[in-house]
Structure 1
């Protein structure tokens, strides 16, 4: 079959004050019409760099220093910006990772589509371009397409915004699409829809597709062939069954081993220790004498969290008359109990109410109705009472995004020390510094990290800082809201193992929120499945995965990316 794209010996360099960074070295790849090539590897492996180099969108000071990029037999290297503008969109389409930033928030979806169609198809304009925009929206599965043309990006869900981005990529009727992490942070249902759509378009249009991702499950479900990248080089390439079923390179083997299993529960996640860098092993302590052990010594026998008939509505449209207001029932009559020392999972699609329930428990939202008891204390009726304050101190939260949840202007010392100072756990600054250093040691960063700023750390290291901050108030309960969804699979494994170690050592109770069902199976003792603000089913983990009783639970499990190609390794 004729090659649509052929990359040979590609080198990409970034010249910096500290010398030249070799982002890609000797990369050779091919893509055929109607084929999906998966480009997989950790953050910093060079995957996105290759995609950007193909369409000459490398950020300064990046440059292609060697090699060839042949597209439909024509060399793309050395072309002028004007010539590359005719290639981008018209012949090669791009689907970017974050649809929120890919779309102009000040323009309607229709205006953005029409503009793209007119620029990539010089002979189409006006009403004809608008009709073509409607066709594209219908093709990517957006209903009421004509009316949706007048909507703005913020009026679409994450999955629908990604569909719009795909429609934009198809506007010029390209022969090749480069999809850069198109399903990152999407829940399992939306991810399945987006992957099915890309596969369908690939078949119907004989498109060549390069899908850049760190998600092995995505590769297993969509790719025909796979190229594995590590530190700027392609270390292994071949058919998806061969690469995922019988990898030959040690890095590929360790990467696949780190993928959370959905078919059975294991004691620990397999980690790729040399990937994250800059961390030390988990440091165990004597729980009887260490100050962190105080939370375990306070541990009681009753439930850690009790939720009864919890309700919360958000106002979508204000009006003087109540009947004219538009409301969203975010949480609808939710009840469950989390026992001391267990990990209780909340799963469901985006918008199901998982994170809203977590924020209600943490006191970030106030419920419209219902009861919340934390370690036996009512934290709703009298939220500012001394007992409620004590209960709140016993509960801390680890947020989803380790980049936005840390103050970039504060040193790590002050970030981790903030709960200690707020709750006045010690009056001596020297002791505060010692505790912070001890916490950073405990989560594997080392005490020297206290003097640095968040931007000096990787995503996984930042999440370790978040965990150290959560531990600083000596909590008995951790709420983990999608704590690893923004992390690579190997870094995810190290963070989840750290949480397991901490729970075992300190007797912590965890409320674990995620849309990643294999991760939930490995982490949780019991699980509640949420949909449209309510709970469909509460069950112990193994029963839920082997014999779910609710139809929606079965639906979610059916949508999990299948890793059958991985065998029993």
Structure 2
């Protein structure tokens, strides 16, 4: 029998702390063969990324391997010094990180970065490395590689940047590739391209690939085998189809049950259990005179950005990012907005909420009028209170230097919604309303998980008693179980408080669960706008069908899973 490329034996990783060591990985064991993709999946904090970092020797300080072995073709990586690992890193082990923008140097051209890596890892001259770099860019599917070699990372789309990162990870022709959440921020079609590329490279070069992700659909369509982790321990492993189709561990069953369906709308999101509290009466004070009908109307909207290279003498045509027909959102409605990266989804959301100036057209709210005509500070302040945003990244959305109770009390004080004496009680009630504890207000953002931070962001948006929420990719960085909790919370708040929402996402399954109507955007235009169920069941536009066909799916026997649960 052929020996595995990589063998991890009873791996333990600890982080020393004054109150006792924190065990991040506890007795993890797995094998990986050449030409095989093994997926690591679990909730945030399960230890998935820590396993990958331990293999490549990039554990965050003061983390260290406390027990176990990591054997790469008869070489124990856990026993190597930092200098010895430097020799292996890049040459025998490559890594694809989650965020391509932080993986690339913004001050160097893409070609220079790749040529430098090839020169160091393969001991080639820079001239030879540049020729090889252009070839490698072409190999990962970047068109006109000779020209794009001279461009900077910000000139590439998210998918193209991730292709460059893959080329960098393969610069030293490694035997093992670790892909840590390589598709988290990508839309479905770009995600499919990146996953197809990783899969084809794995087969062609007989690489072993460890794929770390929280997306069950990605695992289902990419991994040969899967390891399910929880609290640093391996709870279940096996062939992907067997684990997802007939899970044995209770935790695996719960993960699979949390996945939103793209084929049907589920009752748990349509009619979540209604929760109320004394805070609801305070939150509803701004809604007492509302009537049915349109909440927001826009004429045909156009947003243009100046073209690069514009000067006094030469003015190239402006880039038209958004060009959409008139829109209307009814009170209490959730309008979903989907499309690929760069299609104009987030730009349109910012136009409708007044965060970007409009080139042509107008946006009118029933209670505020044309938002571009709000000249007085009091008018703008009132509008800002009614219209709030929940952004994609809960990490950068919160001020890390302020305690949570200060973060939530600041907008209440700014808008004069409660006295100084009342504010602490309201802040505690808001935290409890979004599923946290009132005592959590005394903590700082870094003391919370990603899902908890997103709950704090929702509480902050609710703190000013809004009537409209722009949810811009609010669940894209969350694992499936936390994502399901967040969606249920948003839908329950919408039901209890009568909120109107614009829900921007590239996750089609999520959009189906929460939206009453769905608008599909392509290259700045809305190509289809229909009732959610009608659009998903019988899409009319070719581009909508393309998005639905490329969306990753978990094929499981629902009947068997229900019986198991």
Q: When the two structures are superposed, what TM-score results if normalisation uses the length of structure 2?
A: 0.94
- Paired residue for 1:268? 268
Q: CA deviation at 1:286?
A: 6.6
Q: How far, CA to CA, are the matches of 2:157 and 2:444 in structure 1?
A: 34
Q: Which runs of 5+ in 1 are unaligned?
A: 271-280
Out of 411, 425, 428, which is 2:417 matched to? 425
Q: Relative to structure 1, is the Cα distance of residues 369 and 470 closer, same or farther in structure 2, using a 3 angstrom cutoff?
A: same
**CA contact 2:228–2:234 (8 Å) conserved in 1:** yes
Match of 1:96 in 2: 97
Q: What does residue 29 of structure 1 align with?
A: 30
1:77 is paired with a residue whose SS is: helix
Alpha-carbon contact 2:413-2:420 (below 8 Å) kept: no
1:566–1:20 CA distance, 2 compared to 1 (3 A): farther
For 2:68, the equivalent position in structure 1 comes to: 67
SS class of match (2:471): strand
Deviation at 1:203, TM superposition (A): 1.3
Map of 1:378-417 to 2, 5 A cutoff? 378-385=369-376, 389-417=381-409
Equivalence for 2:547:
556
Instruction: Please list the CA deviations of residues 466-513 of structure 1 after superposition, one character each: whole Å capped at 9, or x if unmatched.
Output: 111111222221111111112121111111111111111111111111
Picking from 484, 494, 497, the partner of 1:503 is 494
* Structure 1 pair 399–566 and aligned structure 2 pair: CA distance change class (3 A): farther
* Structure 2 gaps, min length 5: none
- 1:273 maps to none
Shift of 1:251: 0.8
Give 1:193's aligned residue. Answer: 193
Q: 1:30 to 1:269 in 2, by over 3 A?
A: farther
Q: Which residue of 1 aligns with 2:295?
A: 304
> Comparing 66-75 with 166-175, which one deviates more in the overlay?
66-75
* Contact 2:44-2:449 at 8 Å conserved across structures: no
Q: Do the aligned partners of 1:282 and 1:443 also contact (CA within 8 Å) in 2?
A: no
Between stretches 431-440 and 241-250, larger displacement belongs to: 431-440
Measure the CA separation in 2 of the matches of 1:456 and 1:537.
42
Aligned to 1:275: none
Distance 1:361 1:536 in 2: 18
CA distance in 1, matches of 2:434, 2:558: 33
Indicate conservation of the 8 Å contact 2:8/2:31, yes or no. Answer: yes
Contact 1:227 1:237 in 2 (8 A): yes
Q: Is the alpha carbon distance of 1:318 and 1:204 closer, same or farther for their aligned partners in structure 2, counting shifts above 3 Å?
A: closer
Tell me the equivalent position of 2:435.
444
- What is residue 141 of structure 2 aligned with on the other side? 141
Alpha-carbon distance, 1:381 to partner: 4.1
Deviation at 1:269, TM superposition (A): 5.2
Q: In structure 1, how many angstroms separate the alpha carbons of the residues matched to 2:68 and 2:491?
A: 46
The 2-side partners of 1:526 and 1:78 are apart by 57
1:511 aligned counterpart, secondary structure: strand
Give 3-state SS (helix, strand or coil) of 1:312's partner. Answer: strand
Structure 1 partner of 2:475:
484
Number of residues of Structure 1 aligned to a counterpart in Structure 2: 556
Alignment partners' CA distance in 1, 2:177 and 2:335: 41
Conserved 8 A contact 1:47-1:229 = yes
Hey, what's the Cα distance between the residues in 2 that align with 1:75 and 1:451? 45
Aligned counterparts of 2:195 and 2:557: Cα–Cα separation in 1: 20
5 Å matches for 1:112-511?
Answer: 112-122=113-123, 124-268=124-268, 283-285=275-277, 290-317=281-308, 319-321=310-312, 324-325=315-316, 327-385=318-376, 389-426=381-418, 428-511=419-502
Displacement of 1:127 = 2.6
In structure 2, the CA distance between the partners of 1:449 and 1:379, relative to structure 1 (3 Å rule), is: farther
